[in-house]
């Protein structure tokens, strides 16, 4: 999983039926020092994250787990909102 900040939203009226009713957020992956790490991506929110919050997200097959038994065709899901992190 990677740390990220919520930086935007995506509106798409034509999409796969499995994505109906999901919230699509644009997130910017972060390094622990909060500098950007790689390109922004679109993730489905599973925890009620909001604009500018710091989160962590899961990629790949696991990104569909929070939504089971619904089969949501996503490869990125926000699975936690960060209170804080500590790094040495």
**Cα 56–59–65 angle (5° rounding)?**
95
Query: Minimum CB separation from its own copies for residue 77, in Å?
Result: 7
Q: Which residues contact 6 (CB under 8 A, 6 or more apart)?
A: 25, 26, 27, 49, 50, 51, 52, 53, 55, 78
**68-87 footprint of its own copies as x/- string (CB under 8 A):** x--x-xxxxx-xxxxxxxxx
Residues making contact with its own copies (CB under 8 A): 1-3, 7-16, 18-19, 24, 26, 29, 31-32, 37-43, 46-48, 51-52, 56, 58-66, 68, 71, 73-77, 79-88
């Amino acid at each position: 999983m990677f740390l990220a900040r919520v930086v935007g939203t995506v509106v798409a009226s034509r999409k796969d039926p499995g994505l109906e009713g999901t919230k699509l957020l644009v997130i910017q992956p972060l390094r622990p020092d909060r500098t950007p790490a790689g390109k922004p991506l679109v993730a489905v929110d599973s925890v009620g994250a909001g604009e500018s919050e710091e989160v962590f997200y899961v990629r790949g097959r696991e990104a569909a787990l929070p939504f089971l038994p619904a089969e949501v065709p996503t490869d990125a899901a926000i699975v936690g909102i960060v209170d804080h992190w500590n790094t040495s």
